[in-house]
Amino acid sequence: ELKVEQNPLFLSMQEGKNYTIYCNYSTTSDRLYWYRQDPGKSLESLFVLLSNGAVKQEGRLMASLDTKARLSTLHITAAVHDLSATYFCASPGVGGGADGLTFGKGTHLIIQP
Amino acid sequence: ETGVTQTPRHLVMGMTNKKSLKCEQHLGHNAMYWYKQSAKKPLELMFVYSLEERVENNSVPSRFSPECPNSSHLFLHLHTLQPEDSALYLCASSQMGDYGYTFGSGTRLTVV
């Protein structure tokens, strides 16, 4: 059974600081997804990482994937209040065709002025 | 309309009611999914449909019954639910061979 673990699950930080969210998954996969969810809203796709060593950046967020370590990171640089949300990583596991995603529990991020 | 549309957005139902959730995708995708998100558990995959055939059922109780009449539509039929079934139900779609998943806005279900 595929397991996806995120840490921390809760993070309170100040604006301007840097921090990293970690995502470990238990089954070999060459893909990893990051989503953002605002309260009461659906999931917004942030990054799709498709291979070992993949690194993607969008604004103050940067995601990376190490398939050998089964680890992905989401790094926040110089945080701003607008980044407050819950962040999820997800893995499709092994297989082809239509793969449902297994999600981590999410990291609830609060950025304070 | 574009993307993945879910209706209704909110639903309150009694434990003896029968209701259905609807999902429609306008992306030409050939796979569709139901997920459940509750306060006590992380996002859980419920059902996967590929080319209109169910390919995965993650031990979901029979009071949840999915239906995929064509590649653009997915339903979740609900009957005799329990209060613990109250949750946000999310629909998603994807194209096999592609790597993106698009999620709908969800249906907030409350069982009373």
Nearest residue to A92 (alpha-carbon basis) of B90, B71, B100:
B100
Q: Which of A97, A84, A95, A87 is nearest to A30 (CA)?
A: A95
B18 to chain A, minimum CA–CA distance in Å?
Answer: 25
pLDDT of residue A96: 52
Question: Over chain A, what is the mean pLDDT?
Answer: 91
Which two three-digit tokens encode residue A26? 């238990």
Question: Considering only residues 53 to 82 of chain A, which have any Cβ-Cβ distance to chain B shorter than 8 Å?
Answer: none
Tell me what pLDDT residue B97 has.
75
Average pLDDT (A53-80) is: 95
| Best residue of B10, B47, B103 to probe chain A, by most A CBs closer than 10 Å | B103
Mean pLDDT in residue range A27-47: 91
Can you tell me the distance from the alpha carbon of A69 to that of A67, in angstroms, rounded to the nearest whole number?
5
**pLDDT band at B8; cut points 50, 70, 90:** very high
Residue B2: pLDDT band with limits 50, 70, 90: low
Which among A31, A48, A103 has CB closest to B43? A103
Q: What is the pLDDT of residue B111?
A: 95
pLDDT at A34 over 80: yes
Higher confidence at residue B1 or residue A56? Answer: A56
In angstroms, the CA B49 to CA B30 distance is 8
Residues 16..75 of B with a Cβ closer than 8 Å to A: which?
Answer: 30-31, 33, 42-43, 45, 48-50, 55-56, 58
- Token pair listed for B94: 């994807």
- Beta-sheet pairing, B10-13 with B107-111: parallel
CA-based nearest distance A36→chain B, Å: 12
For B35-94, the pLDDT digits (tens) are 999 987 889 999 999 888 888 777 899 999 999 999 999 999 999 999 999 999 999 999
Tally of residues, chain B: 112
pLDDT at A59 exceeding the cut of 90:
yes
Residues A82-89, mean pLDDT to the nearest whole number = 96
Burial class (CB in 10 A: 0-12, 13-18, 19+), B9: exposed
Which helix (H) or strand (E) element contains residue B71?
A: none
Say what percent of chain A tops pLDDT 90: 73
